[in-house]
Amino acid sequence: MNKWTRAAIPALLIHCSIGTVYCWSTFKESIAQAIGMSTFSVGWAFSFAIFFLGMSAAFAGKIVELNIHRSSLISAICFTAGMIGTGATIQFCKGPLALILIYLFYGCIMGIGLGVGYLTPVKTLMLWFKDNKGLATGISIMGFGLAKAIATPIMEFLQNKFGIAPMFFILGGIYFVMMMAGHFLLKKPEGWVEDKNVNDSFKVTSMFKDKTFIGIWLIFYINIHCGLMLITYEKQLLNEKFAGLAVLTTIVAVVPSITAICNALGRIGYSTVSDKMKDRATVYGIIFLSCVLLCGLSALISNGYLIIVLLMVINLGYGGGFSTLPALLESRFGMKNISKIHGLSLSAWAVAGITGNNLSEIILSNTNKNYTVIIVTAMVLYAVAGIIYFTMVKAKKS
């Protein structure tokens, strides 16, 4: 019974499994070819997965508060059933029917497993690491970010060796074992009992009347939205800036791994730094300022290496926004209803999952693929987020 075996390790087992949702670009074209549909139409499965992640987290807070073992089991079953169902669809179906089933399995069912699983270990971590809440949530959510870097080469190998459908079957089995191990290990500190009356008395509507919560929701949404605007077009940005240069192949091969590491470092780094700050929200001020400056420089100076720095900074802030959120919410609203409040705030992720990359698609289709417009748009939105931070979220001096 210690904080590592009962909180940190099980959280990593769960988050390193569900975080592989961000490996979507590794196999989306293979799915499209296998079922005979366009990459664009198949791409909506990822948007649906993020949408159901956010919305299931928003509504799962009460379940998580009262029974983390029920929620971790739901997560393991839904996530792995979604993966295996996706593999079975690719293996046995083609055309529009296959597309609908992939939306169902990868988008809806797996998305629910993602949302419930993402939320489940967070409060337990903060209870065990009560003096270092930022570090605790950073460890877990870093696992979500690292999952892409760890799983991408494994997925490439399995696809090449066995094919796209068997890849889902194999990984579905592996992740089920990992998540069930996390399910059995996860446990709140001895003596901690959730108050059912507090749980039942919580009103969702009260949070959306709270100025501070609305401000946190908005800055969290904008950070994800802007991150997805640029992160999902990482390869295209690099191809444009390094077109015709001998280093292009190396850049495209190496930079995604660097930015994935930055994403993970941002998750553990920013949240840990927040433990030392008087006001945890200051992390968001740093994120928005750095992103505004780098977006502005990248828009003014057309340089490929500056774009790499921009992508690194964006990934650091994207990851840091996620990991700092739970401890920030706890600093404003306390521990009693933190799972429910955290879940509600994750609805911002659901909305951003629909708007982020799709806004970039609209911009590109109306500007003859001008990526600078995307960067300028992100800069403006980051500046708006900075204003919201100062007016609605930043703690007032006592």
Six-digit token string for 67: 């029974």
Task: Choose among 28, 231, 244, 243: nearest CA to 145.
Answer: 231
Residue 5 · residue 185 · CB < 8 Å? yes
Please compute the mean of the pLDDT values over residues 338-360 and round it to a whole number. 90
Give the model's confidence band at 71: pLDDT under 50 very low, under 70 low, under 90 confident, else very high: very high
Query: How many Å apart are CA 108 and CA 320, to the nearest integer?
Result: 26
Buried b (16+ CB within 10 A) or exposed e, 129-146: beebbbbbbbbbbbbbbb
Sign of the CA dihedral running 162, 163, 167, 169: negative
pLDDT in tens, 228-261: 999 888 888 888 889 888 888 899 888 888 888 8
Domain with CATH 1.20.1250.20 in the chain: 1-201, 202-398
**Token pair 């990593």 in the structure block, residue:** 12
Query: How many Å apart are CA 218 and CA 214, to the nearest integer?
Result: 6
Query: How many Å apart are CA 386 and CA 158, to the nearest integer?
Result: 43
Query: How many Å apart are CA 147 and CA 15, to the nearest integer?
Result: 8
Average pLDDT, the chain: 91
pLDDT in tens, 123-149: 899 889 988 888 888 887 888 878 888
Q: What is the DSSP string of 45-83?
A: HHHHHHHHHHHHHHHHHHHHHH-HHHHHHHHHHHHHHHH
CATH of domain 1-201: 1.20.1250.20
pTM across the whole model: 0.87
The verdict on domain 202-398 having CATH code 1.20.1250.20 is: yes
Report which secondary-structure segment, H or E, holds 184: helix 164-185
pLDDT of the residue at 198: 65
Q: Where are the alpha helices (DSSP H) in 202-337?
A: 204-207, 211-231, 234-241, 248-274, 282-300, 304-333
pLDDT in tens, 145-201: 788 888 988 998 999 999 999 999 999 999 999 999 999 999 988 877 766 666 667
Please compute the mean of the pLDDT values over residues 23-36 and round it to a whole number. 90
**Token pair 């780094």 in the structure block, residue:** 269
pLDDT of the residue at 133: 87
The neighbour count for residue 39, using CB atoms within 10 Å, is 12
CA distances from 93 to 38, 42, 89, 102, 170 (A): 15, 14, 5, 10, 19
Please compute the mean of the pLDDT values over residues 90-100 and round it to a whole number. 96
pLDDT in tens, 373-395: 999 999 999 999 999 999 999 98
Residue 373 · residue 363 · CB < 8 Å? yes
